[in-house]
Amino acid sequence: MLCTNGTGKNGVEDSMKSRFNHKQVGGNHYERLKVQPVEFYLSNDLGPCEANIVKYVTRIKKDVVEDLRKARQYAHFLVEYEQNPPPKIRYTDYSSANNLDYARGKAIEYVIKWSEKGDTAALSKLLELIDVMIEREIEIGQRHN
């Protein structure tokens, strides 16, 4: 939580501990942070480009220059979008154009249902589906070893 009286480092309580730290997958480049980028951009309703900029300028990984280049790329996407907004792409067209299998297409559908309609059942189905997809990929990987 943010301090109202300005105490603590940078206005954030020194005792603040991220509720997302324990869920990081693929490294430890956010462990030093008291406020995770995901918490910041969710609490500020940032779009995906803005969120990725925050993520890439915040984290410290081996290749800092690459992360900063990614941040710049997303800033360019924002400029391009402002100058020439693309038409809306239906999730069915997105799935078809990218040759997504049924499960991946369904995942995209659930994301849209959650995002556009606040459909909490779709969010639950999304989480279940992703778990199934992970298990399926692990099984496939084990068969190939």
Domain ranges of the chain: 9-83, 91-143
**Separation of alpha carbons 145 and 83, rounded Å:** 49
What are the per-10-residue average pLDDT scores of the chain (145 residues)?
A: 40 56 64 83 93 90 88 97 94 96 96 93 96 93 80
5-41 CB burial, b ≥16 within 10 A, e <16: eeeeeeeeeeeeebeeeeeeeeeeebeebbbbbbeeb
Per the CB < 8 A criterion, the answer to whether 23 and 5 are in contact is: no
* Three-class DSSP category at 2: strand
pTM score of the predicted model: 0.71
What local confidence, expressed as pLDDT, does residue 78 receive? 96
Q: Which of 105, 84, 103 is nearest to 94 (CA)?
A: 105
Residue 143 zone, left/alpha/beta (φ > 0; ψ -120 to 50; rest)? alpha
User: Rounded to whole angstroms, what are the CA distances from 127 to 35, 105, 114, 116, 139?
Assistant: 24, 14, 12, 17, 19
